[in-house]
Amino acid sequence: MVFSSNIFLFMFLPMVLMLYYNPFCRGRKFRNVLLLLASLFFYAWGEPLFVWLMIISIIAGWQAGLKITKADSPGERKLWLTLGTIFHLGMLFVFKYLTFAAAQLGLLLQKDFSAIHLALPIGISFFTFQLLSYLFDIYYGKASAQKNVLHVGLYISLFPQLIAGPIVRYADIEREILYRQETRQDFTNGMIRFSYGLAKKTLLANYLAIIAMQSRFMSDQEPLSIAAAWLGAVAYTLQIYFDFSGYSDMAIGLGQMFGFHFRENFNYPYISRSVTEFWRRWHISLSSWFRDYVYIPLGGSRCSRSRLALNLFIVWSLTGFWHGANWTFLLWGLIYFLLLILEKFTGFTDRLGILGHVYTMLAVIMAWVVFQFPSLEQSLSYLGMMWGLPGNPFFDELAAHFLASGWLVWLMGLIFSLPIYPWAAKHCPLWHSVAEPCLAAALFVLSVIATVAGNYNPFIYFNF
């Protein structure tokens, strides 16, 4: 079940809201149990078998957290943290990476391991990282272990952020599980935020996806013109931003509607003037997770240059493979490792000024080309088309079609990847009281029309 589907918008969400805010049962226990059951149903709708995997992971994390709290010595605390970490990473490896590892071993040994093929449970990377943050926060004293397994279950399975994040830290919503206060203002803000996210997905990402998919398909048939290749790459660059930031907006908005406050996950990353700045603005919950739980424990940047390079190599190798079991994801992560090393060791972006934005966007767009293709050969072939193969035309009918058929989407995509919202909120006196509610209502209606009429609807990050 996806947020931008008819069944979610017109059946699941209205039913949950009516039950949650019914005038007869308003207790915290009732509302928490209702949200837990609704979240499990939400996940089981698309993953009827793997919901049991998530429940097992929740129980294991709950028990490990209690053991860490009750341990009599630092050594015992570390032992239970280690066992909990191994269990959850082991589950992630088996279901996300075992098929890939078996295939690579088969190539090495020249044997057929194709029988080892496991389906990928949706959202396993996200709820695994949340369970790990739960254990780490308890171990480092940032939060207390929950004695009630239902509260741990609610934290992990909460449907707004279950499938594709943002990765919510346990320490951030520990008190809200038991003591949150739902307010009319939060509910209104949540509805507006949800409408923005829905519009990003249905009115921009879904249409940009058509151009991106057409360019990928056509590039496998014959070489694209330079313009068509660049338009396809830019379309994917905008698509993945509006797709994922749209999901994050919807998740944050839904959380507010139920009294939860999740941290921001995107901060206009395409205005960045360096790759370092880009990763402070893109998928903030993931980059901060690796920073706090991997990079800093390894020593961070307070070390020699060689150790700093090793720390960044480990972090970006893991970041690449976190997105999927494929060598192109590892290469994508290592591209950012090399760029970040270059920026940290030379500081050249400080001297580029506005050209830093050009450099960053070129790097990001080309990295997305590597990210989106299943093989390195396809990625290199497409990059070759972008930079001009011998005899490759600059412009052709396909490029003209991409521009003519989607000019309004291109324009809106470019405009709304800029910080228009903060500017409007600051300079328009009637923004919050009049303009924003009207805009959100109009976007919601248009999004619903697009949802009913559209065919393409999956979220990109469901795959990761």
Domain boundary among 181, 199, 230: 181
Do 306 and 205 fall into the same domain?
yes
Domain boundary among 139, 164, 181: 181
| Any domain includes 61 | yes
Q: What is the pTM of this model?
A: 0.92
Do 326 and 433 fall into the same domain?
yes
Say if CB 179 and CB 209 are below 8 A apart: no
> For 50-83, how does the pLDDT look when each residue is reduced to its tens digit (9 = 90+)?
999 999 999 999 999 999 999 888 899 999 999 9
Do 330 and 367 fall into the same domain?
yes
Domain count, the chain: 2
What confidence score (pLDDT) does residue 460 get?
65
Do 130 and 225 fall into the same domain?
no
| Any domain includes 204 | yes
User: Is 107's pLDDT higher than 70?
Assistant: yes
Do 163 and 196 fall into the same domain?
no
| Any domain includes 6 | no
On average, the pLDDT of the chain sits at 90
> For 320-344, how does the pLDDT look when each residue is reduced to its tens digit (9 = 90+)?
999 988 899 999 999 999 999 999 9
What confidence score (pLDDT) does residue 454 get?
67
Q: Which two tokens stand for residue 71?
A: 């341990």
| Over residues 196-203, mean pLDDT | 94
Which one is catalytic: 88, 323, 401, 432?
A: 323
Do 236 and 172 fall into the same domain?
no
| Over residues 437-442, mean pLDDT | 91
| Any domain includes 12 | no
Do 215 and 239 fall into the same domain?
yes
Q: Which domain holds residue 105?
A: 22-181
| Any domain includes 235 | yes
Do 156 and 274 fall into the same domain?
no
Active-site annotation holds for 283: no
Do 211 and 171 fall into the same domain?
no
Do 250 and 382 fall into the same domain?
yes
**161-165, 358-362, 408-412: least confidently modelled range:** 161-165
| Any domain includes 9 | no
> For 266-297, how does the pLDDT look when each residue is reduced to its tens digit (9 = 90+)?
999 999 999 999 999 999 999 999 999 999 99
Which is more confidently placed, 464 or 384? 384
What confidence score (pLDDT) does residue 458 get?
60
Domain boundary among 129, 146, 181: 181
Do 163 and 286 fall into the same domain?
no
Do 311 and 352 fall into the same domain?
yes
pLDDT band, very low/low/confident/very high, at 194 (cuts 50, 70, 90): very high
